[in-house]
Amino acid sequence: MRIFLAPMEGVVDHTMRTMLTQVGGIDRCVTEFVRVTTTLLPPKTFYRLCPELHKQGLTPSGVPVYVQLLGGQPEPMAINAERAAQLGAPGIDINFGCPAKQVNRSDGGSVLLQEPDRVFAIVDAVRKAVPASTPVTVKIRLGFNDRSLLEDVTQAIFAANASELTIHARTKEDGYKPPAYWDAIADIYANSPIPIIANGEIWSVADYHQCIKESGCQDIMLGRGILACPDLARQINATQLEQHVRVMDWLMVVELLVQFCVVTEAMYERKYVGNRVKQWLGYLRRQYPQAAVLFEQVKRLKWPEDIAAAIALHKTEYSKAI
């Protein structure tokens, strides 16, 4: 069983990968997508989305980070994959799942699920462009408007010699509306020559068990669920090993937020720290009621020192109250 951290544009960046892999239980991460059009992108684009390339493509906790590419043309995808591999990416992931209108209109993401031949051409070109030792993984949804081409798309991906396939168990049309249809992955998994990773709507250990039961998969990818519950991967690992693990309490999460401010300030302009913290609190709110309280306390603040002071005060008040 392996657990992967989902790519999430504007949310799971280098700083978030640092925090979540430090908590533990994650076997691999994927960057936000690098948008490929027609040109070979400069190294700085790859380093910006994947600063881990300066450190052998590993997070500070030693977890590999694959570079995700999104685009509709085989040749530009291939040359950019080659570049990412040369810069030290431990693997390349190809995005055929993005539902964003703007991305789909410009020939990328889930719109390509309507064209299995092009999916083949892209994966095949990328596979041939990078060394055999560099895994090429693919991420899809169940389809664009419906699931009618799922079998053709997955066969195309297998024929192109992809290393692994992650399936977000919804179509583009389904958007992010629950549920995720884990059972729709079962046939693909049963007949696949490569590992299949199930993704979508895993918010708890119970969801994990249900997902592997319905999909048959052993490996999973966690997105919003692990943002809401930072030790979810660790909890899932513990149940697999039948070990007891101490579940993170709110004060431990607050400590994580303090560190998040520090690593975020080191990476971005100071004015962005507040928004990043508020964004994470938005996800944490689902699991920790106190996150909503802290959100109210920081919502008008922008500067790191003000946010840090508000978090410190919150910690004192909360500790007194429990």
Nearest distance from C-beta of residue 282 to ligand FMN, angstroms? 11
Which one of 15, 95, 104, 235 is in contact with ligand FMN (CB under 6 A)? 95
Closest C-alpha to 248, from 229, 228, 227: 229
Nearest distance from C-beta of residue 318 to ligand FMN, angstroms? 28
Determine whether the annotation assigns residue 168 to a binding site.
yes
Alpha-carbon distance 266 to 35, whole Å? 25
- Burial code (b: 16+ CB inside 10 Å, e: under 16) for 263-288 equals bbbeeeeeeebbebbbebbebbbebb
Closest C-alpha to 207, from 194, 222, 192: 222
Stretch that binds ligand FMN, among 41-49, 55-63, 195-203, 304-312 (CB under 6 A): 195-203
Give yes or no: 98 in active site: yes
Site for ligand FMN in 199-218 (CB under 6 A): 199-202
Q: Tell me: does residue 8 bind ligand FMN (CB under 6 A).
A: yes
Closest C-alpha to 253, from 199, 298, 202, 311: 311
Site string for ligand FMN, 29-58 (x = CB under 6 A): ---xx-------------------------
Which one of 11, 186, 194, 245 is in contact with ligand FMN (CB under 6 A)? 11
Q: Tell me: does residue 143 bind ligand FMN (CB under 6 A).
A: no
Which one of 35, 139, 147, 276 is in contact with ligand FMN (CB under 6 A)? 139
Nearest distance from C-beta of residue 322 to ligand FMN, angstroms? 30
Site for ligand FMN in 146-175 (CB under 6 A): 168
Task: State the catalytic residue, choosing from 50, 98, 211, 261.
Answer: 98
Determine whether the annotation assigns residue 147 to a binding site.
no
Q: Is 94 left (phi over 0), alpha (psi -120 to 50) or beta?
A: beta
**For ligand FMN, how many residues bind (rule: CB under 6 A)?**
22
Nearest distance from C-beta of residue 238 to ligand FMN, angstroms? 19
Cis omega (within 30 of 0) for bond into 179: yes
Which one of 69, 89, 222, 281 is in contact with ligand FMN (CB under 6 A)? 222
For residues 142 and 155, the answer to whether their CB atoms sit within 8 Å is no
Where do the H-state alpha helices sit in the chain?
14-23, 43-49, 74-86, 101-105, 116-129, 150-159, 186-190, 205-215, 224-228, 232-240, 250-267, 273-284, 289-298, 304-321
116-129 vs 150-159: helix crossing angle, rounded to 10: 20
Q: Tell me: does residue 13 bind ligand FMN (CB under 6 A).
A: no
Alpha-carbon distance 321 to 46, whole Å? 46
Determine whether the annotation assigns residue 17 to a binding site.
no
Closest C-alpha to 98, from 26, 151, 172: 172
- The tokens of 278 are what? 């508020």
Nearest distance from C-beta of residue 30 to ligand FMN, angstroms? 7
Stretch that binds ligand FMN, among 94-102, 233-241, 249-257, 313-321 (CB under 6 A): 94-102
Determine whether the annotation assigns residue 199 to a binding site.
yes
Closest C-alpha to 84, from 67, 96, 65: 67
| Residue whose CB is nearest to ligand FMN in the complex, by number | 223
Alpha-carbon distance 83 to 47, whole Å? 11
Which residues contact ligand FMN by CB under 6 A?
6-11, 32-33, 68, 95, 97-98, 139, 168, 199-202, 222-225
Annotated binding site for FMN: 68, 139, 168, 199-201, 223-224
Which of the residues are catalytic? 98
